Amino acid sequence: MEELAELKRQLAERRPDGWDKLPDIPLYMDQVVGYLARQLVSVGDGDALTSAMINNYIKDGLVERANGKKYGQEHLAYLTAITALKQVMSVREMKVLTTVGREMRAPQRQYEYFCQYLDRAMADAAAGIDEDIDGQELPKLVLDLALRGYAYSLACHRALAVLARRTGHEDLLKKR
């Protein structure tokens, strides 16, 4: 199936820019939104970040405020990660992860870890897709992928709760 072959190719090959490839000149909000739309594999318009979403992430403390009206490499790194993580984590959950990350290492190193783990996850997902699957087997592929997502989501949320507890950030997970 042509669509599955294209998805598999994108999962296998498309990666966000590494830290050294992030624009080294500050960008305005509309430039940031356009740049982020090209950073990750997308399945639809709902995946993209909007300027309103970015402003909300700033208000929620996931991303630092812009320098004037311009956003630098650190902003782009965090926003790239948020674009991916928002598919599986709430803002409160991302806040725990970004807070602990900031406490543990510099933003560049944190972004390098993100890219490394994203690469492995995307390669694993690509390997699980048989682009030559027939129509009879397609529902099984969809079920397999959905259940893997479910299992990984359970593990992610439980590990995040442990992380929050061990680092003293349980309050970040509580509803306000």
* Residue 42 pLDDT: 81
pLDDT band for position 68 (cuts 50, 70, 90): very high
88 residue type, one letter: V
The count of structural domains within the chain is: 1
Question: Is 45's pLDDT higher than 80?
Answer: no
Angle between helices 138-166 and 91-104 (to 10 degrees): 60
How far CA 169 is from CA of 28, 88, 129, in Å, comes to 32, 20, 38
Average pLDDT, stretch 70-98? 95
User: Which residue segment(s) compose the domain that 76 sits in?
Assistant: 2-173
- Among 25-29, 102-106, 131-135, the minimum mean pLDDT is found in 102-106
Average pLDDT, stretch 145-153? 96
Which pair of tokens denotes residue 1? 């199936």
Please give the Cα distance from 40 to 37 (Å, whole number): 7
What is the CA angle 29-33-39, rounded to 5? 135
How far CA 4 is from CA of 77, 138, 151, in Å, comes to 29, 10, 23
Tell me the whole-structure pTM to 2 decimals: 0.92
